[in-house]
A and B are shown apart, each in its own frame.
Chain A
Amino acid sequence: MNKNISSIAFKDNNLIIKNSSNSIKIEKSINFDKDNELHIDVSPADQTQRIVLDVDTHDDETFNLKIFLKINENAKLEFLDESTYKGNSNFELITKLEKNACLESYKLNKFNKNKINNFYHDCSLLESSSFKDYIFSNGSKENLNRTTINLNDINSSYLGSGVAISDSTNSNNVVEIRHNAKSSTSDCFFKTVARGNSTISFDGTIFVDNHCSKTISNQVSKGLLIGKESKINLVPKLEIYNDDVQCSHGAASGQPDAKTLFYLTSRGISKTEAEDLYIKGFLSEFFDTIDNAQMMTKAKEYISLNN
């Protein structure tokens, strides 16, 4: 069995994966092929099914996990990762969405400033399937989030949002969206706040293959530089080989507006409190993209805790 995982349990349609020893009940459809690999098949159910990854790793161990996730035709799944990664980690997720399948993924992770943490996600979507992806990160010594989306069939769609709030940490965010079939849509929104001597990057590639007419693709990335030493690098890349597409992209980063900070401090709150309010305003736009109320609350909590 996996060295890192000590418990996997199914409870009311929720699959709970833990590394501390609690009750264990391994569902038949889940099996570990070899160390660190987990295969999960999700079939349609009456209720929303959810996988909760809730690990709390030691700072002197490297946590490795690879999950193969297949969401079958018409099945819906929520994936929630609220883990605290105290040590190094490598987490790889390979997902396949069959026809009409839905995946909503929320990663609200806390990393250790001095560690190296990698997250790779490769997602392939078939006809009319949809994936909503939310990634929150506070950065670490080296923090990589790499997502590849393959829109392989008509009417497949991707909505991706990322927020990185870092305090003298680094975060590299790479999102590659490949439109490999016609009439697929993607919407990618990335926001970051950099404090102290943080370095944050966002590389957003949109690829549209030559036969992929009626593609709709939007990408927006915005950065807020709080620390004098912080750096933000937003790089949108477009590789579009079809004319019948609607694509837009925008990238902008800058410092908080001095007039706003002056207004706030002139009312007797400290510069730091004023900046925090400004950040709250900057990120508030982001919440409009989350329509799941419970997750919206979690996201707001995450942001206020890391702010």
Chain B
Amino acid sequence: MIEIKNLNVSVEENKILNNLSLTVKTGEVHAITGPNGSGKSTIAHTLAGNPNYIVESGSVNFNNKNLLEMEPTERSLEGLFLAFQYPIEIPGVSNASYLRQILNSHRKHQGLEPIDAAEFLKLLKEKSALLKMPMEMHSRFVNSGFSGGEKKKNEVLQMDLLNPKLIIMDETDSGLDVDALKLTADVVNQMRSEKRSLIIVTHYLRLLEYIKPDYVHIFQNGQIIESGDHTLASRIDKEGYE
């Protein structure tokens, strides 16, 4: 699915990622954990193509394509999805019309007709119910005035709607209460498949109890310092990162 090789990334002239290499095969679930400021969001944003993150050297192969040459739009249309740690508010644009627009953009890319209003409403009801999101939220402006947890649910909803091949979740669990965390884990577990890969970035590890990842990587100073299976997560939980 994705092969990251010797990646060096800087933000505003500060080098953040240090020769990072990581391969995620199709169907695998990887968790990345590490202290605050270790560069976890930097990986996520670099893969999604945030122009603030400057790739100094290295390569990223995404389904046999050079990911680093692609615009953010193209990365998304090719199946990469980043659930933001800090989702952005868009005033003046209703959540429902926004969700329909992004879905239709993906459908167009796949050669499908735009989804009609009635069909979309049905789909939205179905997907919102999984997360216990009231339909009323979709008539509000995108993320505007949403609580922290509601914003995160809206990210999970978009992830579910767009049916991506590679999901990167950046601290989706922070801001969620226990019930919402469980609902999110259910959606993720439902989406888990042989055809899809996930990179779950977290420093809380709670989510990993519900979603048992295949691999856990510990991140520090822009590097992976240790990798293991999901038992590594419980060890860190007890002993910390040191």
Binding site for B on A (CB under 8 A): 258-260, 262-271, 273, 277-278, 280-285
Contacts and interface: CB of A to CB of B under 8 A. Distances in A.
Contacts of B60: none
A277 B73 CA distance: 15
A262 B84 CA distance: 11
Contact of B52 (A258, A263, A264, A285): A258
Contacts of B90: 260, 263-264, 277-278, 281
A264 B82 CA distance: 11
| B73, B84, B106: residue with the most chain A Cβ atoms closer than 10 Å | B73
Interface string B50-73: 111000000000000000000111
Given A262-B72, A265-B71, A268-B162, 7 more contacts: A264-B90, A265-B73, A266-B48, A268-B106, A269-B105, A271-B71, A285-B91
Contacts of A266: 48-50, 72-73, 75-76, 82
Contacts of A282: 92
A170 to B, nearest CB: 26
A273 B52 contact: no
Interface of B: 48-52, 71-73, 75-77, 82, 84, 87-88, 90-93, 98, 101-102, 105-106, 109, 141, 158, 162
A128 to B, nearest CB: 34
A263 B85 CA distance: 11
Contacts of A280: 92-93
Contacts of B141: 281
Contacts of A273: 101, 105
Contacts of A278: 90
B70 to A, nearest CB: 11
A261 B122 CA distance: 29
A260 B50 CA distance: 11
B51 A259 contact: no
A253 B121 CA distance: 38
| B71, B87, B93: residue with the most chain A Cβ atoms closer than 10 Å | B93
A260 B101 contact: no
4 nearest A-B residue pairs (beta carbon)? A284-B92, A268-B76, A281-B92, A263-B88
B50 A262 contact: yes
Contacts of B52: 258, 262
Contacts of A259: 88
Contacts of B72: 262, 265-266
A258 B92 CA distance: 17
Contacts of A258: 51-52
Given A258-B51, A263-B84, A268 B77 contact: yes
A224 B223 CA distance: 40
Nearest to A287: B92
B91 A270 contact: no
A88 B83 CA distance: 51
A258 B12 CA distance: 15
